């Protein structure tokens, strides 16, 4: 699906390789080990894509042949913040690409009385206001948890334009609602689904990501 109607949405190139990976993880008959393996491959692609949008400066190095190579170096520090629990599945993919990266966590759960998201816990780097933040959550459905988590980051001093929300699948409704609250946050995703069903699950979706990733 084209992202032309969406401002600040970066959709991974819809190659046959990526379509094949999504075909595997969406299949209800895929075993848990295979689900984890192929989901991790997509997560790695999302992290690599997110890194493309960080600022750089020109850098010249000398090679072993005593020649100069004109390249670039990243500016600023980054950290990952996972929305517990499903977002924790994306932490290793970030660590694989960024050595010694700091990781924060935000726990948000639905209040059974009000059916609204409720903040239960946050643990973030003390200098997070000076970092670029990769917010990690595999699915963006209604956007409620993502909006609350992003609000936590902004209250801690993180500028919206320094936040990159990485997810495997999102809905148009979720994107619209999220960007109505935070238009300057960039969403990096691999798929935009048709919509939400009567239970507010993504369609066609893949079920509960956390259950399929963590539960036997």
Catalytic residue list: 110, 114, 208, 211
Q: How many CB atoms lie within 10 A of CB 53?
A: 11
How far apart are alpha carbons 138 and 208 in whole angstroms?
A: 10
Dist. CA 158–CA 144, nearest whole Å: 19
Q: Where are the alpha helices (DSSP H) in 53-170?
A: 91-97, 144-155
User: For residue 23, how many other CB atoms are within 10 A of its CB?
Assistant: 11
Tokens of 99: 């050595």
Residue 12 phi, psi dihedral angles, 5° rounding: -55, 145
Q: With the C-alpha atoms ordered 68, 72, 77, 79, is the resulting torsion angle positive or negative?
A: negative
Which DSSP symbol is given to 109? E
HSE-CB of 36 using CA atoms within 13 angstroms: 12
Tokens of 60: 């010249």
Cβ atoms 8, 185 nearer than 8 A = yes
C-alpha torsion angle, residues 115, 184, 73, 43 (rounded to 10): 30
């Amino acid at each position: 699906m084209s992202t032309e109607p969406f401002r600040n949405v970066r959709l991974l190139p819809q190659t046959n390789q990526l379509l094949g990976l999504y075909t595997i993880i969406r299949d209800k008959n895929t075993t848990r080990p295979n689900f984890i393996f192929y989901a991790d491959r997509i997560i790695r692609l999302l992290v690599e894509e997110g890194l493309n949008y960080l600022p750089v400066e020109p850098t010249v190095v000398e090679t072993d042949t005593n020649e100069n190579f004109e390249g670039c170096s990243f500016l600023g520090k980054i950290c990952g913040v996972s929305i517990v629990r499903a977002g924790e599945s994306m932490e290793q993919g970030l660590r694989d690409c960024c050595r010694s990266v700091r990781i924060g966590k935000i726990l948000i759960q639905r209040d059974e009385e009000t059916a609204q998201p409720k903040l239960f816990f946050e643990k973030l780097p003390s200098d997070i206001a000076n970092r670029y933040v990769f917010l990690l959550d595999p699915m963006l459905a209604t956007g409620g948890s993502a909006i609350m988590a992003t609000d936590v980051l902004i209250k801690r001093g993180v500028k919206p334009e320094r936040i990159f929300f990485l997810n495997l699948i999102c809905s148009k409704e979720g994107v619209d609602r999220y960007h109505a609250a935070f238009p300057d946050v960039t969403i990096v995703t691999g798929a935009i689904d048709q919509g939400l069903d009567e239970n507010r699950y993504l369609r066609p979706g893949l079920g509960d990501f956390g259950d399929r990733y963590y539960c036997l």
